[in-house]
Structure 1
């Protein structure tokens, strides 16, 4: 005699209160086996494939692609088949029997106008890959004390990850005509992009029209460092290309987002925030309620710099030296317990701007890296954000933040401090400025700086001395 079973959306290891349906692999009436792919879900950090918690007939599915499901809500219902393998209660992985616990604190930021909240929600350890990444997006689910890695699934004889299929739909690429380069014949992101660029594998006319591949993430926005920051600071930049209209599914495993308010996208109707932007809204609201922000501004004169200086690397070096001089700014503050933690190491949150929102990966141990090491680490983090392979653990735990809104526009700002961090330094758009010197005037290169700090944890004098140390280091030739 069979019985019915409800499957509740588990905590996908992201510490977030909900997730978005990307694609169902079954429909009502299908028979599915234990641990077979059930649905791919999208959070602010990854596209995660959720396996079936049991074997049986699908009775009900909660929502369609693009719908947001609350963690702990019923995701699917099954009629159990006793003739097929089942998981005993003692082997329960947490995928089905119980509601996932509701979050008790603001989720850590994967994006936002400043930094993440490293200490508010414990992040799970990232799954260790068993083989080299093939350019695909790999999600992970917490299963008791194990982590279940997302696997490529075969549909129509083509093996590909859910995020790769989403990208192919967006670009109008027929996966059956794409030459695979991944292990075991798995089609990767790069395979789809190459096919789209070559126009060699167009999908049928019923497929969504092809669109340009999303631009690489920009280390910047209201937070971050821009590739070629020297160019953005002192030379004119071309206007950004128009963002293509998105399909209902994500691209490249990136989180779904509200469309930009273009003539084609603006409808005048409310649109539900998803993925990164949904998380950003929550975290920014929490930061606004918890922090007492104060901002100091000044100009860094970099006239003495020799050609070839990497501005972002110099800004990071200046933050490190200032943090050593004024430890109060390289700290965490607990407003409930009124405790402060001063950190011996300097881990800098570098905001990376994408079309869907901001990610803030941590540049670990910036105080022990040389210039080449800093640049190598920044490039690695940016690449991992681009293909969504960055581990959740790298999006939290930093001690201070660096922002670079100036790669787009603006001189000064009031960047947002997200607790438990105490401070964030922001660099505006560089300019040439006439300055008085002995015997006349000169034109110097200037970088406008804005330092926002939590006045509960640091005094105005500490913030001013920190900013002075930054200015002094940036004034050095190299």
Structure 2
């Protein structure tokens, strides 16, 4: 027997400390060839297919769908086959496959490392040093946090299985369960999607005795996912890849609102990354907020609220370049940007996304609206490239579309400013000869006081208010 080779989970982008297993394309005992898809992993921003680093027999896999694997820990173990193509030693694959490096001697951590709370783990290696994440102390180990199948609506299934059922339009209550303790498995869902005749009668049909009643598959899905083909039964390895994975369309590991059990649950994907980013911002930024109202009484019909806010930010950035900047607190350097790339906060059930509206200073009102609609659609169907979620120079949160007047939005480094717009309202305004009812937008600007002065922030806010006061 050849020597076994351990494949460690590579950094799937931007130094994220872990990823969640969505779907394995092989099982233990299978033979896989070099660069064939091994597994799909969900990071904070997308689902990434990880190729096999070797050709050979799969000896061991780290966990099941829904499990969280720490970057650098064991993902799979292989027995290489010398008769099949192999990658040359030292050949660059673009990923770092080795285990996490131990912390340097004398390195100082932000917080004292503490183990994760009561993980259910397999193949737990001795505890390693802090992996240096933005949270502070994140234990780096081979621990795989296993999710339990949860009964919701009388159907027991893991969150990842529910996510797959939702994407494929399969009613879980009609799927024949083959898993332990009556749980619906991933294969059960795929089989049901491929062959509708295996579905159980709908609860309504059973109640009225209509055994032959045909229950339509749910159509509540996004436009992009509705065009996907149902996966074929397992056969060739290419067939084992679901249409969802093969098309490159991302998918959630846990749909929102699945379980309200009152029990602790592991944060995953977007929410997990959001927690880290917010903690990092809180630790690094010195935030100060200014608030005021912008009078939009002069607006002519047809003005787009978000479009006008974008235009006002652009005008203000040109007036006060210090707010359209990046700041490096470690090196004490500041970068002023000639272009204005605005991060537009998009709230979703999965968590907060901030796609970048590139070159907003070159876009007219129609192009701004078209670009925002495109970004929102890409966020909703999780098809947005990770590159579009970074690199913005200033941010906008239009939370007023829901509720609220003023806010203290969070500045995320390296940016130095974020604008928040509250809910528009009418207020009594003194005018020559009496009073009038004017519509106003509450504005809040939070800035990093290490990089910007209060005067710069105030002039920025005034420039926005002046632009928003114009008719169109």
| 1:383 to partner: Cα distance | 2.3
Match of 2:250 in 1: 253
Contact 2:250–2:383 (Cα < 8 Å) also in 1: no
Contact 1:350–1:362 (Cα < 8 Å) also in 2: yes
Note the residue ranges of structure 2 that are not aligned, 5 or more in a row.
Answer: 111-132, 135-159, 173-192, 203-214, 225-243
The range that moved more, 339-348 or 80-89, is 80-89
Contact 1:216–1:354 (Cα < 8 Å) also in 2: no
Tell me the distance in 2 between the aligned counterparts of 1:440 and 1:321.
Answer: 32
Tell me the distance in 1 between the aligned counterparts of 2:295 and 2:103.
Answer: 46
Say which of 317, 321, 329 aligns to 2:315: 321
Contact 2:22–2:253 (Cα < 8 Å) also in 1: no
Contact 1:44–1:255 (Cα < 8 Å) also in 2: no
* Higher RCO structure, 1 or 2 (CA under 8 Å, sep 6+): 1
| 1:426 to partner: Cα distance | 0.5
Once the two structures are superposed, what CA deviation does each residue of 1:326-373 show, in whole Å capped at 9, x if it has no partner? 111111111112222211211111112211011111111111211122
Match of 2:29 in 1: 29
- TM-score w.r.t. the length of structure 2 is 0.70
Tell me the distance in 1 between the aligned counterparts of 2:350 and 2:219.
Answer: 16
| 1:392 to partner: Cα distance | 1.8
| 1:53 to partner: Cα distance | 1.5
Alpha-carbon spacing, 1:102–1:171, altered in 2? closer, same or farther (3 Å): farther
| 1:427 to partner: Cα distance | 0.5
Match of 1:39 in 2: 39
Match of 2:70 in 1: 70
Tell me the distance in 2 between the aligned counterparts of 1:102 and 1:380.
Answer: 43
**Which structure 2 residues correspond to residues 337-348 of structure 1 after superposition, within 5 A?**
337-348=331-342
Does 2:470 correspond to 1:463?
A: no
The range that moved more, 27-36 or 346-355, is 27-36
Alpha-carbon spacing, 1:279–1:103, altered in 2? closer, same or farther (3 Å): farther
Note the residue ranges of structure 1 that are not aligned, 5 or more in a row.
Answer: 107-119, 122-161, 175-195, 218-248
Contact 1:53–1:95 (Cα < 8 Å) also in 2: no
Q: Indicate the RMSD between aligned Cα atoms, in angstroms.
A: 3.5
Alpha-carbon spacing, 1:282–1:78, altered in 2? closer, same or farther (3 Å): same
Query: Larger Rg: 1 or 2?
Result: 2
Alpha-carbon spacing, 1:436–1:212, altered in 2? closer, same or farther (3 Å): farther
Tell me the distance in 2 between the aligned counterparts of 1:357 and 1:35.
Answer: 32
Alpha-carbon spacing, 1:431–1:254, altered in 2? closer, same or farther (3 Å): farther
Match of 2:54 in 1: 54
Match of 2:384 in 1: 390
Does 2:300 correspond to 1:306?
A: yes
Match of 1:268 in 2: 262
Match of 1:453 in 2: 447
Alpha-carbon spacing, 1:371–1:103, altered in 2? closer, same or farther (3 Å): farther
Alpha-carbon spacing, 1:329–1:31, altered in 2? closer, same or farther (3 Å): same
Once the two structures are superposed, what CA deviation does each residue of 1:68-93 show, in whole Å capped at 9, x if it has no partner? 11111100111222232222214352
Once the two structures are superposed, what CA deviation does each residue of 1:90-146 show, in whole Å capped at 9, x if it has no partner? 43526686336799999xxxxxxxxxxxxx99xxxxxxxxxxxxxxxxxxxxxxxxx
- Name the count of aligned residue pairs: 365
Does 2:210 correspond to 1:213?
A: no
Tell me the distance in 2 between the aligned counterparts of 1:257 and 1:103.
Answer: 33
Tell me the distance in 2 between the aligned counterparts of 1:355 and 1:370.
Answer: 31
Alpha-carbon spacing, 1:254–1:475, altered in 2? closer, same or farther (3 Å): farther
Match of 1:204 in 2: 199
- TM-score w.r.t. the length of structure 1 is 0.69
Say which of 408, 422, 432 aligns to 2:402: 408
| 1:428 to partner: Cα distance | 0.7
